[in-house]
Structure 1
Amino acid sequence: MKTMMKFTVVLLMATAFMGCSKNGDGYAAADPIVGSWMLRDASRNNNYGWQSFYSGLENGVLEFYNNGSASYSEGHLNLTGNWYVSNTNGAYYDEYGYLRNGLHQTLYVSLSDRFSGNSIELNFGYVVFQGSRFIATDFYGNGVERYEFRRY
């Protein structure tokens, strides 16, 4: 009987702790985008290689929240809005600029400030999360744009 009681207590404790996991950054591991990010590099590939360009997002911090809301802060500029990641099937350009076809994730971010009239619209046809960074790409007419974000 005592053995059965001990086993039951151990089983209950193990079950209680199974659902409680967070990584060291304090955001749920199931939502890799949640948290603060800074743009590390924006570059274009026009068949002559990758060339960095100024996107206007380099000096700010993007914050993604669990509830789908987002913000961008840069000095006195504060934009708010929403984001979503969706799973889709079809053609896309990967982080190396290669055309692929299949299942992948897309990222949409819409931010604005109604007082200043400033806004940011990001519509990436592909996004991949790799630990403390994520890379998002899109085709822009003459080539592929790639944005690499790092945890802030």
Structure 2
Amino acid sequence: MDAGALEAFLRRDFGQVAEDFAVDRADAAGVTLRLKVAERHLRPGGTVSGPAMFGLADVAMYLAILSRIGPVALAVTTNCAIDFMRKPSAGRDLLAEARVLKLGRALAVGDVMLFSEGSPEPVARASLTYSIPPARG
């Protein structure tokens, strides 16, 4: 699935959150997903909340996997570990660089680096595992 197909999938199957995200890139190397940071994503002090950053990492890995296997809506997160490394820059979107490290028939493993737009230093790093449902034939 390319960037346009991934965004269409989000709008169709996850309309409740689709407007929060934009797929900047989807290719063999992975996916770059943008969180369009809004007031609802902020915590006191004006920084992006941990749950918003987790959501970005999770959706980015989900889309990176779907870019490889197609629109499998029931692929689900089975594990996630996230390290928050620095405060995101105020007033900037967050970018997630997701890559699939291993894609099997039942499980996919990958990592995601989160950046404030325009900054080379990562704000968080996540490692995720997804369960892929068996193909129905």
Do they superpose with TM above 0.5? no
Instruction: Between the two structures, name the one with larger relative contact order (CA 8 Å, sep ≥ 6).
Output: 2
Which protein has the larger Cα radius of gyration, Structure 1 or Structure 2? 1
TM-score (norm 1): 0.28
TM-score (norm 2): 0.30
Is the helix fraction higher in 1 or 2? 2
